Homo-oligomer: A and B are copies of this chain.
Amino acid sequence: MNSALGIDIGGTKISYAIIDNNGQIKNDVNKIPTPKTKDEIYNTLKSIISKFEDNIDFVAIATAGAVNNENTGVIGSTANLPQGYKDIDFSTLSKKIVFIENDANAAAWAEYKIGASKDMKNSVMLTLGTGVGGGIIVNGKLLKGKSGAAGEMHFIMSRNKTRCCTCGSYDCFEAYASGNGLKKTAEIITNDPDITTYDVIKQAENNDENSKKALKIWQDDITLGIIGLANIFDPDCFVLSGSMEKFVDVEEIEKKVNSLIVTTPIKVLHAKAGNYSGMIGAVLLANELI
């Protein structure tokens, strides 16, 4: 058959499509809203899979939350999905193998296999959205750590406890480099607690000085985080993805990073594997690991 069912489970929607061995989507991508309870999610997934399972080799799921090293279950609860989600027994969803990987990790793998970081054995992908996701590839292998949860972008940008982070701590990279981070930076500059990320982007397009300043500080913060990661990993490249990445100037970041790191020069690239890189990467990774 040489094809798999790829599924992407996010906080707001579940997407799925048939994907071949080369990471090509074979039909349209289907999307449904993510159900509100663990049991409804389970039943929905079971129903989707039952329609396809006779005609596929395996099921590959990219999901929010940390996934174990066996690629069989979710280990970390994620605020975007219902309570108990991590207790789902994914293996019972199909008579075929059900392979799971964290969505950011899976997307990083898609970039490595068919996207921006193709053939580069050491890379760091940063997904700049409402939050910040991370997927790291070291010497051609996904960095998973002891439990599978590696690649979380919660390292500090300040010792002053000035900005709360979603993780419960303060001043993490995510709290500055995310869309929410841009909003918070703009709040400080404009003194307007109601300004949204969208407002900042729109107003900057209309040449508003405060919004342009907020965007510049936001990009500088992303740059500072990349400098640290470059010194730690000495990667070939950084791949930027997510809804916010189109607002950064990758060439400017690359130039500044390379002027300040202690290691050899790195590249900063826009992601290329597309909006469905999560499910594509999950299929491509499963191809190698199962």
Chain A residues within 8 Å of B, Cβ to Cβ: 66, 75-76, 120-122, 134, 136, 138-139, 141, 143-160, 167-169, 172, 176, 221, 224, 227-229, 231-236, 260-264
Given that A156-B157, A159-B158, A224-B159 are contacting pairs, would A147 and B231 also be in contact in the complex, using a CB cutoff of 8 Å?
Answer: no
Q: Complex Cα distance A122/B136, Å?
A: 15
- What is the count of identical protomers in the complex? 2
Cβ contact of A229, chosen from B136, B147, B155, B227, cutoff 8 A? B155
Q: Complex Cα distance A239/B114, Å?
A: 37
From A66, A155, A176, name the one whose CB has the most chain B CB atoms within 10 angstroms: A155
Q: Are B145 and A122 in contact (CB under 8 A)?
A: yes
| A contacts with B: majority SS | loop
Collect the chain B residues with CB atoms within 8 Å of residue A227's CB.
Answer: 154-156, 169
**Can you give 18 A-B contacts (C-beta < 8 A)?**
A66-B263, A76-B263, A121-B146, A145-B263, A146-B235, A146-B236, A148-B234, A152-B234, A152-B262, A152-B263, A154-B227, A154-B231, A156-B228, A159-B176, A159-B221, A159-B224, A168-B260, A169-B260
A273 shortest CB reach to chain B, Å: 21
Q: Are B224 and A262 in contact (CB under 8 A)?
A: no
Q: Are B155 and A155 in contact (CB under 8 A)?
A: yes
A174 shortest CB reach to chain B, Å: 10
Collect the chain B residues with CB atoms within 8 Å of residue A155's CB.
Answer: 155, 227-229, 231-232
Q: Complex Cα distance A144/B149, Å?
A: 21
Given that A154-B262, A221-B159 are contacting pairs, would A138 and B143 also be in contact in the complex, using a CB cutoff of 8 Å?
Answer: yes
Cβ contact of A262, chosen from B121, B149, B233, cutoff 8 A? B149
Collect the chain B residues with CB atoms within 8 Å of residue A146's CB.
Answer: 120-122, 234-236, 264
